[in-house]
Amino acid sequence: MTAPHPSVSVIIPALDEEQSIGAVIEAIPRDIVGDVIVVDGGSRDATREVARQRGARVLDEPLRGYGRACARGVSDAHGDVVVFLDADGAADPLDIRALVAPIAEGSADLVLGSRLGPGRDAAALSAAMPIHQRLGNTLAALLIRVRHGVPVTDLSPFRAVRRTMLLALPIEDLTFGWPTEMIVRAARARWRIIEVPVSCRPRSGGRSKVSGTLRGTTLAAMHVLGAILGPERTGRPEPVGGPKSGTPTRGAAVVVVMAKQPVPGKSKTRLCPPLTPREAAELSEALLRDTIGLVSGLRETEMAIAVSPPGAVGMMRRFVPRGARILAVEGADIGECLRGATDQLFAEGFTRIVALNADSPTLPAEYLDRAIEMLTHSDVVLGPAEDGGYYLIGLRQRQPGLFQNISWSTAHVAAETLALAAALGLTVARLPQWYDVDTPAELERLRAELVARPLAIAPCTRAFLARQQSTPPPGELAVDPRG
């Protein structure tokens, strides 16, 4: 009996592609593709309108990064298989059939489109890909073959992959290096990876924001090489012994990261200037991802992400590691969100809960371990911040009173919390002070600290700071979702 054909979603990252995107969408074979998603990175032309007219779902991604746009599309896709297709018309959408076929047959998990395999028309390649792009792809493919054992000839973004497997793959680079890191991490996870030949033709509109500029080419090369040659980073370890996530045992501990959706103009506004609103939102995302990475390294401890506003849960799912809980919380202030998150977790059966902000990516992991241990003999654990707030609070039973009548976002938060705890007769253990990253001075402090710390510390924040240093001044051409 023939297995049913998998459902397919096509994801198209786009920025200012009104000249080409309509024809690209129209050429997609809809007999096998049921879902077309265009993720727009802030187009200033009619890209969104043209895409909707052609029947695509259009998602807005306010933050830069080709990988970020792809990840947003994956989180909203419905298909068993996702296909990534550029909006510039350089790829033939009819090749989607060839990309999906090996997955439908059960012989592959990731299928890469190759424009550079044997027997290709040299004249056609020359017209479609600049010489530096062809040479860079050839070199990168060689490095992947040698270092990771994957027989690839090209790094084309045109590819098909099983969606559930991709969601579990911990890809960290959300800019230029996302497609390459996908291959590297898939190879380390022992996926079945194959190539199929695909067409290659000149883009049908505009100029490439990557291979068409020196800056784009240079940054892409740095990210691609970093993905290939960088050290292996492990994801969240499995819990040691006992039931998996979802069935907390008596005495079970959980660390919940308080995660607010990064939005330009609403995130890290005290850092604007020197950052632009978009850069501030990108930094907020990087800090969050590094905080999640920090918590992921804890052993014998569950993990949860508390997301606000609740409507952002779908978009924020891309940051949640496999096995972690995701909670929707809302409130007029952080106190109401903390109370909502801890109430949900106590109701699930946890007896030691540590709530952590996402503004301290270099916090020593031992502080988290100590907080969990302190809750065996203290009612409350507090990690005071240098600005008068706190970066962490731990509880071993519901304490709604600790989050009421607090002057949130002031230098009095920690002191008022300690006074409330004393008034409620609660025992309190304190961790050492640490700092949040909320002001330009704190950002510079973080930058200086990272210079002296191992590269494995806060990799996403490091990557943001490196990009931010190389960002052109306001007024220059914006970089598209591919970086």
Query: What pLDDT score does 129 carry?
Result: 63
> Is it the case that residue 138 has pLDDT exceeding 80?
no
Query: What pLDDT score does 221 carry?
Result: 61
More confident residue, 221 or 179: 179
- The domain limits of the chain are 8-229, 253-430
pLDDT band at residue 199 using 50, 70 and 90 as cut-offs: confident
Closest C-alpha among 62, 63, 74, 36 to residue 320: 74
Pairing outcome for strands 380-384 and 390-395: antiparallel
Highest mean pLDDT among 130-134, 144-148, 384-388: 384-388
Q: State the CB neighbour count (10 A cutoff) for residue 402.
A: 24
DSSP 8-state assignment for residue 129: S
Query: What pLDDT score does 239 carry?
Result: 34
The token pair that represents 222 in the structure block = 């740095």
> Is it the case that residue 147 has pLDDT exceeding 50?
yes
Query: What pLDDT score does 361 carry?
Result: 93
Task: Please report the DSSP string for 391-440 in residue order.
Answer: EEEEESS--GGGGSS--TTSTTHHHHHHHHHHHTT--EEEPPPB----SH
CA-to-CA separations, 2 to 6, 33, 103, 106, 109, in angstroms, rounded: 12, 19, 14, 11, 19
Average pLDDT of the segment spanning 437-463: 90
Query: What pLDDT score does 123 carry?
Result: 58
CA-to-CA separations, 53 to 58, 232, 465, in angstroms, rounded: 10, 44, 39
> Is it the case that residue 300 has pLDDT exceeding 50?
yes
Mean pLDDT of the chain: 84
Q: Which residues contact 364 (CB under 8 A, 6 or more apart)?
A: none
Kindly report, residue by residue over 384-437, the tens digit of the pLDDT: 999 999 999 999 999 988 998 899 989 999 999 999 999 999 999 999 999 999
Average pLDDT of the segment spanning 84-91: 92
DSSP 8-state assignment for residue 319: G
Average pLDDT of the segment spanning 3-13: 87
Q: Domain 8-229 maps to which CATH number in 3.90.550.10, 1.20.120.420, 3.40.640.10, 3.20.20.120?
A: 3.90.550.10
More confident residue, 116 or 448: 448
Query: What pLDDT score does 478 carry?
Result: 37
> Is it the case that residue 161 has pLDDT exceeding 90?
yes
Highest mean pLDDT among 66-80, 214-228, 355-369: 355-369
More confident residue, 321 or 342: 342
Note whether 8-229 and 253-430 share their fold.
yes
Query: What pLDDT score does 241 carry?
Result: 30
Percent of the chain having pLDDT more than 70?
82
Query: What pLDDT score does 479 carry?
Result: 36
Convert 197-206 to b/e letters by CB count within 10 Å (16 or more is b): bbbbeebebb
> Is it the case that residue 370 has pLDDT exceeding 50?
yes
Query: What pLDDT score does 219 carry?
Result: 55
> Is it the case that residue 260 has pLDDT exceeding 50?
yes
Query: What pLDDT score does 127 carry?
Result: 56
Kindly report, residue by residue over 203-245, the tens digit of the pLDDT: 766 555 554 444 545 655 666 666 666 665 544 433 333 334 4
Query: What pLDDT score does 477 carry?
Result: 36
Please give the Cα distance from 262 to 410 (Å, whole number).
Answer: 21
Under 8 Å between Cβ of 123 and 78: no
Query: What pLDDT score does 384 carry?
Result: 95
H or E stretch at 306: strand 302-308
Under 8 Å between Cβ of 388 and 414: yes
pLDDT band at residue 143 using 50, 70 and 90 as cut-offs: confident
Average pLDDT of the segment spanning 84-97: 94
Q: Domain 253-430 maps to which CATH number in 3.10.28.10, 3.90.550.10, 3.90.1070.10, 1.10.240.10?
A: 3.90.550.10
Average pLDDT of the segment spanning 175-180: 84
> Is it the case that residue 264 has pLDDT exceeding 80?
yes
Please give the Cα distance from 417 to 415 (Å, whole number).
Answer: 5
Average pLDDT of the segment spanning 257-281: 91
pLDDT band at residue 377 using 50, 70 and 90 as cut-offs: very high
pLDDT band at residue 474 using 50, 70 and 90 as cut-offs: very low
Query: What pLDDT score does 246 carry?
Result: 52
Under 8 Å between Cβ of 44 and 111: no
The token pair that represents 220 in the structure block = 């892409």
pLDDT band at residue 34 using 50, 70 and 90 as cut-offs: very high
pLDDT band at residue 452 using 50, 70 and 90 as cut-offs: confident
Query: What pLDDT score does 148 carry?
Result: 78
